[in-house]
Structure 1
Amino acid sequence: MKKCLILYESYHHGNTEKIARAMAEQANAKVCTIDKVHTVRVEEYEIIGFGAGIAYARPYDKMLKAAAQLNLQGKAVFVFSTSGMGKAKYNSALVELLKNAGASLVGTFACKGYDTFGPIKMIGGIAKGHPDEKDIAAAKRFIQQMVVS
């Protein structure tokens, strides 16, 4: 099993944190918020996951800015996200940033997460109850593929 680090940014409802922790448990990975990335030695890990919630169809700016500061040349990376719609295409800004930093993308994952951002708050939000057990199971299958191969 590859030595894995999972970095995440999750603040709205903790959706991305739930997925990050489930992945970390499955892969025996180190998990930390992107704010604390300075406390770990990124170069010691064989594969690094980057997870964030989505705002305006792109990963949180905090994740994008922090990831841009890391030396990822030649590193295997994966991207994951949670959003009201759960679309993997929302990962593209982070994927491109990581590729441009010289990282090797090995996979992406996305699932729904309860979302009450902006005007959808007035209708009670969307994707209530997500990530659910099926989302967690899918995240665990995904990370298993990332660290075993």
Structure 2
Amino acid sequence: MKTAIVYYSEHHGNTKKLLDAIAAQHDVDLINITKDSSTDLAGYDRIGFASGIYYNAFAKQLLEYAQANLPEGKDVFFICTHGAPSGAFMKSIREITEPKHCKELGAYDCRGFDTFGPFKLVGGIAKGHPTEEELRGAVAFYEKL
């Protein structure tokens, strides 16, 4: 099964750490939209979308890419890292995939070191994340898809 994970991972690279752990054990194509925004997703059986969370949503750049490039009817999954302990993190990406009749296979999220916006003033939150356990959790999530 041919799988791509389209991602946006800036600032501390938290999301990329999860994806690198998955890619180290599985054959997946990682597509960094800050470097490659022209990949045709039609040839993939499964498409993952991965991002840090910004104000309770996936990165704007990733959402715009998904809106413009996600073919209808694909199997999709989501991965995200976030500083805040909880939230409706998947809502923004689901608002794009559901109208395209994509089948959601699952979602994985974990904490990630965050110094974005006001968190910079206090030295950041969720220091030390993602942990080794969270990296293993991302791989286990992928293996269950």
> Please, what TM-score do these two structures have when normalized by structure 2?
0.92
Query: How far off is 1:73 after superposition?
Result: 0.9
Of 24-33 and 111-120, the range deviating more from structure 2:
24-33
Note the alpha carbon deviations across 1:30-66, whole angstroms, 9 max, x for none: 112123141x331211101000111111111111111
Indicate conservation of the 8 Å contact 1:86/1:110, yes or no.
no
Of 106-115 and 81-90, the range deviating more from structure 2:
81-90
Q: Secondary structure at the match of 2:107?
A: strand
2:78 matched residue in structure 1: 79
Query: How far off is 1:80 after superposition?
Result: 0.9
**Aligned partner letter, 1:81:** C
Structure 2: gaps of 5 or more residues: none
Query: How far off is 1:89 after superposition?
Result: 2.4
Query: How far off is 1:19 after superposition?
Result: 1.1
Of 41-50 and 88-97, the range deviating more from structure 2:
88-97
Q: Secondary structure at the match of 1:120?
A: helix
**Aligned partner letter, 1:129:** G
Q: Secondary structure at the match of 2:94?
A: helix
2:134 matched residue in structure 1: 135
**Aligned partner letter, 1:119:** P
Cα distance in 2, alignment partners of residues 61 and 41 from structure 1: 20
Percent identity, please.
Answer: 35
User: Structure 2 vs 1, CA of residues 117 and 47 (structure 1 numbering), >3 Å: closer, same or farther?
Assistant: same
Q: How does 1:64-143 map to 2 (within 5 A)?
A: 64-85=63-84, 87=86, 89-143=88-142
> Please, what TM-score do these two structures have when normalized by structure 1?
0.90
Aligned-residue RMSD, C-alpha: 1.4
Aligned length: 144
Runs of 4+ deviating beyond 3 Å: none
